[in-house]
């Protein structure tokens, strides 16, 4: 005997119950990640490494936070199912930001470039490269800032050219200021 969908009718109460159960199951599966390895079954809350990283970041434990973000990237990168549009490599941006807070601009740039290589939106990468450039500018390392922007100019030529031009002007202005003198800077011999 064949039963088509049209022959299955649910009362409004049973339909409401079925939808409730479905909603609970969807919520449960979206919050729990399961993994099976070496004959063991473990359930860990999805995003636990990310949440731990954020907690450590708030506590000022930046190296530990970086380690947790890296674990999160590895865990989500190898997950058999991902949310639509999910790119765990976005967290390389967070790692780079933490490196920059720790005065490690080279490591920050490496993290941002990993994110770029893994398909994170270019606008995020452009913004972060400009932050590294700003880091150098704040420390009066204008040539390092200019070289960085020039190297990655192809990511956003208009914006990077504007920054490069501004930094060149600032550099020239500083040179002029250092080379110029005023009459007050000259010490004249005292009259006898």
Tens-digit pLDDT profile for residues 23-36:
444 443 444 333 33
Residue 81 pLDDT grade (very low, low, confident, very high; cuts 50, 70, 90): confident
**Cβ proximity of 163 and 133 under 8 Å:** yes
What mean pLDDT, rounded, does the chain reach? 79
Tokens of 176: 């002029």
**Cβ proximity of 34 and 43 under 8 Å:** yes
CA distances from 9 to 5, 13, 47, 83, 129 (A): 8, 11, 40, 32, 59
| Domain spans in the chain, listed from the N-terminal domain onward | 46-104, 121-176
The 10s digit of each residue's pLDDT in 82-104 is 777 788 899 999 999 999 999 99
């Amino acid at each position: 005997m064949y039963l088509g969908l049209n022959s299955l009718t649910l009362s409004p109460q049973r339909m409401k119950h079925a939808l409730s159960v479905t909603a609970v199951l969807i919520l449960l599966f979206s919050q729990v990640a399961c993994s099976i390895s070496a004959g063991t079954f473990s359930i860990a809350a999805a995003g636990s490494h990310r949440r731990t990283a954020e907690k450590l970041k708030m506590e000022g434990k930046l190296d530990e936070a970086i380690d947790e973000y890296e674990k999160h990237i590895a865990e989500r990168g190898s997950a058999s199912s991902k949310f639509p549009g999910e790119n765990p490599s976005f967290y390389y941006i967070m790692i780079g930001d933490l490196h920059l807070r720790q005065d490690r601009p080279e490591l920050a740039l490496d993290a941002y470039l990993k994110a770029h290589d893994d398909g994170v939106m270019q606008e995020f990468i452009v913004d972060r490269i400009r932050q590294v450039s700003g880091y150098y500018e704040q420390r009066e390392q204008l040539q390092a800032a200019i070289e960085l922007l020039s190297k990655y100019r192809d990511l956003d030529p208009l914006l990077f050219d504007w920054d490069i031009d501004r930094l060149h002007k600032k550099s020239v202005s500083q040179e002029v200021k250092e080379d110029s003198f005023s009459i007050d800077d000259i010490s004249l011999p005292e009259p006898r």
